[in-house]
Chains A and B, each alone.
Chain A
């Protein structure tokens, strides 16, 4: 089974992002991590590989610094990793990103002499949260897609994917090759061990550029993206009301009830 996992490096999402003086997200002081949903995808891929055999390749589009999270991926299940770096890709929207990823898929397949059976993506990233790239990649590749997957099983030359829905779940059969976008499963991603970290450190992460991928320059980057962000803002803060913290519970509660009764909220 040849498996590709798409990983984006994002600012740690447990830290609140604000805008800096020039109106851009102040993220340079926030630790970069692999997008949480991508780590679930990698863990699901690793378990699938343990059950069915195969090789897991991780790929990121981004600057050289993205190798930091790719090294971590190599320590928790990925066998190989590639980073796709090119200044012309900066500011690409989801459609342009899906296009670059589709070219990266073809290039990595050529370099490794394989065809990917399953491409895993997180269901969304915690930074831009568009949830668009996975299905758009599937369309570019002309393969099937199942979104919001929390479990999967091999079924001959097909995959049975458990898709979380608003009311429960669907079991969806999809022919391989396929793209799956992964939601949080009922387990957590594994931790690296000293040994797996050492092994990951020794591995090379080749860099692919637009020249390697043969991407059309008129289809990538901020200027050629369909979606253009014109400004960023912080949501208007709701005014805090009254906080009641008297000496005893009885006093606090009586005061709170008085305020709420006066506001006629019940």
Chain B
């Protein structure tokens, strides 16, 4: 592909049960800004089955063009999605391809990058247009302790974007754009993997990314029994339960609740950290919260360095007292 042929930004929007995942809609925000500065446009791409509603969502959040590849074969994410995306990139020649840094996004990006020999960056937390017209992608390294600014020399270029890094725009009540391409099938090429079984171990819907209030527990909660207090506090505040890696590994709570480098990245209005020391691995995932309350008995815990209010005390005393007070306030 030659440089002059490629233009525009392709935003790959992952769907779940027919709805666009948040990160897909979030990416439209920087994509539109950069596309408008470069005088080009944004194409949303969706690969799956039953994509009509998701296509409307993409349009309402500002995608100029929409391509859906809608096929029963593509219902669940697999290697076939990578084959389809490769075809779409070759056919539509975008300058930049943005993919949500979900697990599937981080699977598809390097496969497509490898197939087409394209430069790729991972977990972009911010991007801006440089003076030379190149996009500068900021990515975390060393558990988020260092940020690297990168440019990519290939065209097209691929980036996976971390959820929660950009704010969704205001949805507009619009009709689907005129340019909607619906492809029912594409060649998959040589497929080397087969999904034999899919097991959903996590049945509850845990929407940490969109939560306004998150109450999180760490190793300092001490036991599965004590961890229930975190859930109780989250309940009285109408919030969602989060956790660090330790309680997940010890089986106190499911992996769906994990926040941090290897879990979800969140930015609620209120974040209450209970018995969490504040290792970078976790802090990376929640430091963007508007207001942070930390409860820890160790007064030197690093979590206090980023907390708006640090309460030095035993979680088993503080949390029940807080639950009582909040119940009174809400009564």
- A residues apposed to B, CB below 8 Å: 11, 13, 16-19, 25, 93-95, 98, 126-140, 143-148, 160, 164-175, 178, 225-235, 237-238, 240-245, 249, 252-253, 256-257, 259-261, 263, 265-266
Q: Is the CB of A232 within 8 A of B317?
A: no
| Residue in B151, B154, B202, B270 whose beta carbon sits within 8 Å of that of A265 in the complex | B270
Q: Is the CB of B149 within 8 A of A171?
A: no
Chain A residues within an 8 Å CB radius of B109: 132
Chain B residues within an 8 Å CB radius of A143: 192
Whole-angstrom CA separation of A92 from B202 in the bound complex = 39
A93 to nearest B CB, angstroms?
Answer: 7
Chain B residues within an 8 Å CB radius of A132: 109-110, 113, 120, 122
Q: Mark B285-309, 1 if CB is under 8 A from A, else 0.
A: 0010001110000010000111111
Q: Is the CB of A265 within 8 A of B113?
A: no
A232 in contact with B149 given A132-B113, A136-B113, A144-B193 (CB within 8 Å): yes
Q: Is the CB of A252 within 8 A of B201?
A: no
Q: Is the CB of A238 within 8 A of B312?
A: no
Q: Is the CB of A266 within 8 A of B237?
A: yes
Chain B residues within an 8 Å CB radius of A129: 122-123, 140-141, 143, 261
A135 in contact with B291 given A126-B143, A144-B192 (CB within 8 Å): no
Q: What would 23 A/B residue contacts be, using CB atoms closer than 8 Å? A: A17-B145, A25-B146, A133-B110, A134-B110, A139-B114, A143-B192, A144-B193, A147-B103, A169-B199, A174-B193, A226-B118, A227-B151, A232-B148, A232-B149, A233-B147, A234-B145, A242-B309, A243-B312, A245-B299, A249-B318, A252-B313, A253-B322, A263-B309
Whole-angstrom CA separation of A35 from B146 in the bound complex = 18
A243 in contact with B304 given A129-B141, A252-B311 (CB within 8 Å): yes
- A-B contact number at CB 8 A: 230
Q: Is the CB of B311 within 8 A of A18?
A: no
- From 140 to 163 in chain B, residues with beta carbon under 8 angstroms from any chain A beta carbon are 140-154, 157
* Interface residue SS majority, chain A: mixed
A253 in contact with B114 given A16-B145, A126-B143, A174-B192 (CB within 8 Å): no
Whole-angstrom CA separation of A244 from B293 in the bound complex = 11
A228 in contact with B103 given A132-B110, A132-B120, A266-B329 (CB within 8 Å): no
* Interface residue SS majority, chain B: mixed
Q: Is the CB of B200 within 8 A of A167?
A: yes
Q: Is the CB of A252 within 8 A of B110?
A: no
In chain A, what residue has the closest Cβ to B103?
A166
A138 in contact with B313 given A16-B280, A130-B122, A234-B146 (CB within 8 Å): no
In chain B, what residue has the closest Cβ to A228?
B151
Whole-angstrom CA separation of A18 from B192 in the bound complex = 42
Q: Is the CB of B120 within 8 A of A252?
A: no
Q: Is the CB of B153 within 8 A of A178?
A: no
- From 10 to 63 in chain B, residues with beta carbon under 8 angstroms from any chain A beta carbon are none
Q: Is the CB of A98 within 8 A of B114?
A: yes
Chain B residues within an 8 Å CB radius of A98: 114
Q: Is the CB of B330 within 8 A of A266?
A: yes
Q: Is the CB of A168 within 8 A of B199?
A: yes
Whole-angstrom CA separation of A137 from B237 in the bound complex = 48
